[in-house]
Structure 1
Amino acid sequence: MDWEDTVTVEHVDTEWHQYFQNALKTDHKLDYNQNNHCWCKCSENGIDFEMTDNERQHYISFLVKIPKLFDKLKHWPITEQKLLVLAVARIISSNEKTFIQINTNSTYNALVKMAEITKTTTSTPVKVRYIDMICSFVEHEAGLKWTLENECWTGIWDLVMQCHEENCDEVNQNLYNIISKFLQKTSKCSPKICEHVTKQIMQPVISSANKNYPKTKKEPIEMINIKDCKNLEQTLKCSIGILERLLANISETGSEALKYFSHLLHSCEILSILSNNIESSMQLNCVMTILCFYGITELFDGITVVNHDPLVLSGFLKIVEREMRKENLKSVLELFYYAQKYWDCISTRVPKHFQNGKPIDIKYVLTAFQVEPIMLLGEKLLQNPYSDEETEKLFRDISLKAMTNRMSEECVKLGYKLRSEYAKAPMGSELTAFKCIIKSKPLYSRECLALVFQILIYGFKDFVKYVNGDAKLAEIEHNQLIGEGMLQAILVFLEDFDLSWRESLGSLELPGLNYEFYTCTNKWNPNVVLLFLKILDITISKNLSANMVLLVDYNSDHVDGLDNMGSMLLGKCASHKVEVREAAMTVVCTICEKVNEGFKSFERILLHHVTLDIILTIATSDFINSIRAIALTCLQKMIVMNQFEAYFLSSPFINKIIEHIAKEKDPNALKVSLKLIRQIYENNYNKITDNLVQIYSLMSKVAIEGENMDVQEEAVKFWEFVTRQNLERQGMIDDDFPNVTFSKEQKKIIRLDEKEIRKRLFQAMDSMSKTGCFNVYRQILVNPDTPANVLATTITIITNFSKLLKRYDVTREFITLNQNYPNLWSIASNIESPASNCAVNDESLGELIEETMMQMTGELSFTEMFPLPSNLNEAGEFLMLKDPENPIVQVSPVDFIEFIYRKLPSLRT
Structure 2
Amino acid sequence: LMEILLPWLVYSINHWEDINDEIKAFALRIIGKVVYEREGFSMLNKENILLTVHSNMKKNLGTQKNCIILGYLDVIDNLLRHQQGTNWIIANEIWKEMIQFSLNNQSIYVRRRSQNIFSNFLIIMRDNTLLIHLVISVLLDLNVDQFHIINAFDIQNPSVLKNKNKCTLNLQQREIKLNSYKVMGEILLMMLNSGVNFDLNKIFGKYKIQDLAWTEIHNDEDLDIILAASKYLCRWNISAMILTQSSIFKESDFSFLIMKHLNLLIIRHLFPKVILETCVEYSSLWHKFGMKFVTTENRGENYTKVENLIFVIQAMPMFISIRSHYMNKNEITELFVDKLFKVACPALIRLCYFYRDQCLVPHLSIEKFTCQVINSFIRVSSFCEKEQAVMIFQGFMHLLKDFVQRDTPTGTQNWRMCPENFIRTYPELLAAILNGLSCYLTKFRFSWRDSLETVCMMSFIQSLITNPDVPFLVCAEALKLAKLVLLHFMPPNLALLVDTLQGSSMRDLGNQLFKTLGSVHWEVRDSSLEVLQVIGCLAIDKFPAFQSLLLEHNLPDIIVSIVESDCEPYVRATALNCLSELVKVQVIWDTYLQKDQVLITFLSLLYFETEGIVRDKAAIVIKDIYKHRNLPENNLEWVYDALYHVAQNDLHWEVKISALDFWDTIREKSFLSVGMVDGKFPDVIFSKEKKKIVQITPTEMCLRVNSAIKQMSLSGCLHTLWETLHDDCDIQVQRKSALIIKKIVDVISTFDILNDLQDTNNKLNEDIVNGKSGQNLDKMDEIENKVSTQQNNKGQSHDDVIDEIVAENDLRLLSGLVQITEPVKRWPKIKRIIISPREFLIKIKTLNLNHYLKEPAESSNYAWEMESLLDDILLYSKGNKDEEMDKKGRRTKKD
**8 A Cα contact 1:205 1:232, kept in partner:** no
Per mean C-alpha deviation after superposition, the further-off stretch among 715-724 and 671-680 is 715-724
- Separation of aligned partners in 2, 1:237 and 1:598: 57
Please say if 1:367 is aligned against 2:311: yes
1:414 corresponding residue in structure 2: 351
Distance 1:748 1:148, change over 3 A: closer
Please say if 1:171 is aligned against 2:110: yes
Please say if 1:385 is aligned against 2:328: yes
Q: Give the one of 666, 669, 672 matched to 2:614.
A: 669
Q: How does 1:107-122 map to 2 (within 5 A)?
A: 107-118=49-60, 121-122=63-64
Query: Shift of the alpha carbon at 1:510?
Result: 2.5
1:336 corresponding residue in structure 2: 279
1:555-614 CA distances to partner (integer Å, 9 max, x unpaired)? 9xx997335422332333343444333222111111111111331332233213362222
- Separation of aligned partners in 1, 2:444 and 2:289: 27
1:537 corresponding residue in structure 2: 483
Q: Give the one of 495, 498, 505 matched to 1:561.
A: 505
Q: Give the one of 140, 143, 149 matched to 2:85.
A: 143
Q: How does 1:585-596 map to 2 (within 5 A)?
A: 585-596=529-540
Query: Shift of the alpha carbon at 1:673?
Result: 1.5
2:398 corresponding residue in structure 1: 458
1:206-248 CA distances to partner (integer Å, 9 max, x unpaired)? 23315999x9969965684676588414531452254145235
TM-score normalised over the length of structure 2: 0.76
1:87-119 CA distances to partner (integer Å, 9 max, x unpaired)? 333344354454334322322112213435535
2:129 corresponding residue in structure 1: 191
Q: Give the one of 338, 343, 354 matched to 1:398.
A: 338
Q: Secondary structure of the equivalent of 2:60?
A: coil
1:789-817 CA distances to partner (integer Å, 9 max, x unpaired)? 25414533653575488538425455545
Please say if 1:882 is aligned against 2:782: yes
What letter corresponds to residue 452 of structure 2 in structure 1? Answer: L
What letter corresponds to residue 131 of structure 2 in structure 1? Answer: I
What letter corresponds to residue 431 of structure 1 in structure 2? Answer: C
Per mean C-alpha deviation after superposition, the further-off stretch among 720-729 and 78-87 is 720-729
Query: Shift of the alpha carbon at 1:651?
Result: 1.1
Q: How does 1:14-29 map to 2 (within 5 A)?
A: none
Q: Secondary structure of the equivalent of 2:575?
A: helix
**8 A Cα contact 1:248 1:345, kept in partner:** no
Query: Shift of the alpha carbon at 1:156?
Result: 3.2
Per mean C-alpha deviation after superposition, the further-off stretch among 710-719 and 805-814 is 805-814
1:904 corresponding residue in structure 2: 844
- Separation of aligned partners in 1, 2:685 and 2:704: 12
1:236-265 CA distances to partner (integer Å, 9 max, x unpaired)? 145225414523532535845783275233
1:209 corresponding residue in structure 2: 147
1:676-731 CA distances to partner (integer Å, 9 max, x unpaired)? 2233233333x524423322222222233333444334334434544565565566
- Separation of aligned partners in 1, 2:227 and 2:360: 23
- Separation of aligned partners in 1, 2:699 and 2:297: 83
2:441 corresponding residue in structure 1: 494
**8 A Cα contact 2:99 2:139, kept in partner:** yes
What letter corresponds to residue 365 of structure 1 in structure 2? Answer: L
- Separation of aligned partners in 1, 2:26 and 2:681: 64
Distance 1:818 1:341, change over 3 A: closer
**8 A Cα contact 1:703 1:716, kept in partner:** yes
- Separation of aligned partners in 1, 2:498 and 2:267: 46
Q: Give the one of 707, 715, 718 matched to 2:659.
A: 715
Q: Give the one of 687, 696, 704 matched to 2:648.
A: 704
What letter corresponds to residue 182 of structure 1 in structure 2? Answer: F
**What percent of counterpart residues are identical?**
18
| Count of aligned pairs | 781
Query: Shift of the alpha carbon at 1:672?
Result: 2.6
2:601 corresponding residue in structure 1: 656
2:22 corresponding residue in structure 1: 80
1:257-288 CA distances to partner (integer Å, 9 max, x unpaired)? 78327523333333432333433332333333
Q: Give the one of 221, 232, 240 matched to 2:174.
A: 232
- Separation of aligned partners in 2, 1:305 and 1:454: 30
Q: Secondary structure of the equivalent of 1:496?
A: helix
- Separation of aligned partners in 1, 2:240 and 2:697: 85
Q: How does 1:443-842 map to 2 (within 5 A)?
A: 443-465=383-405, 469-470=416-417, 473-475=420-422, 477-499=424-446, 501-519=448-466, 521-548=467-494, 561-609=505-553, 611-646=555-590, 647-685=592-630, 687-722=631-666, 725=669, 744=688, 747=691, 771-773=715-717, 776=720, 787-793=733-739, 795-796=741-742, 799-800=745-746, 802-803=748-749, 807=753, 809-813=755-759, 816-817=762-763
- Separation of aligned partners in 1, 2:699 and 2:284: 75
2:862 corresponding residue in structure 1: none
Distance 1:89 1:429, change over 3 A: same
Q: Give the one of 68, 73, 98 matched to 1:156.
A: 98
**8 A Cα contact 1:537 1:590, kept in partner:** yes
- Separation of aligned partners in 2, 1:448 and 1:746: 65
Query: Shift of the alpha carbon at 1:340?
Result: 2.5
Distance 1:672 1:756, change over 3 A: same
Per mean C-alpha deviation after superposition, the further-off stretch among 263-272 and 106-115 is 263-272
1:828-862 CA distances to partner (integer Å, 9 max, x unpaired)? xxxxxxxxxxxxxxxxxxxxxxxxxxxxxxxxxxx
- Separation of aligned partners in 2, 1:350 and 1:742: 66
Distance 1:525 1:63, change over 3 A: farther
- Separation of aligned partners in 2, 1:508 and 1:674: 38
Q: Give the one of 364, 374, 381 matched to 1:441.
A: 381
- Separation of aligned partners in 2, 1:681 and 1:116: 69
Q: Secondary structure of the equivalent of 2:443?
A: coil
- Separation of aligned partners in 1, 2:706 and 2:337: 79
Query: Shift of the alpha carbon at 1:635?
Result: 0.9
Query: Shift of the alpha carbon at 1:321?
Result: 3.3
1:509-551 CA distances to partner (integer Å, 9 max, x unpaired)? 33333334445x3121233222211211111101134543899
What letter corresponds to residue 347 of structure 1 in structure 2? Answer: G
- Separation of aligned partners in 2, 1:697 and 1:290: 65
Per mean C-alpha deviation after superposition, the further-off stretch among 742-751 and 790-799 is 742-751
- Separation of aligned partners in 1, 2:554 and 2:217: 59
Q: CA RMSD in A?
A: 4.4
Query: Shift of the alpha carbon at 1:637?
Result: 1.0
Distance 1:462 1:244, change over 3 A: farther
Please say if 1:347 is aligned against 2:287: no
What letter corresponds to residue 531 of structure 1 in structure 2? Answer: E
What letter corresponds to residue 142 of structure 1 in structure 2? Answer: Q
Q: How does 1:27-38 map to 2 (within 5 A)?
A: none
- Separation of aligned partners in 2, 1:444 and 1:616: 42
TM-score normalised over the length of structure 1: 0.75
**8 A Cα contact 1:381 1:466, kept in partner:** no
What letter corresponds to residue 191 of structure 2 in structure 1? Answer: N
Distance 1:582 1:100, change over 3 A: same
Distance 1:655 1:103, change over 3 A: same
Please say if 1:99 is aligned against 2:41: yes
Distance 1:510 1:315, change over 3 A: closer
**8 A Cα contact 1:508 1:546, kept in partner:** yes
Distance 1:610 1:183, change over 3 A: farther
- Separation of aligned partners in 2, 1:762 and 1:149: 78
Distance 1:665 1:145, change over 3 A: same
Distance 1:290 1:704, change over 3 A: closer
Q: Secondary structure of the equivalent of 1:112?
A: helix
**8 A Cα contact 1:285 1:335, kept in partner:** yes
1:833 corresponding residue in structure 2: none
2:31 corresponding residue in structure 1: 89
What letter corresponds to residue 882 of structure 1 in structure 2? Answer: E
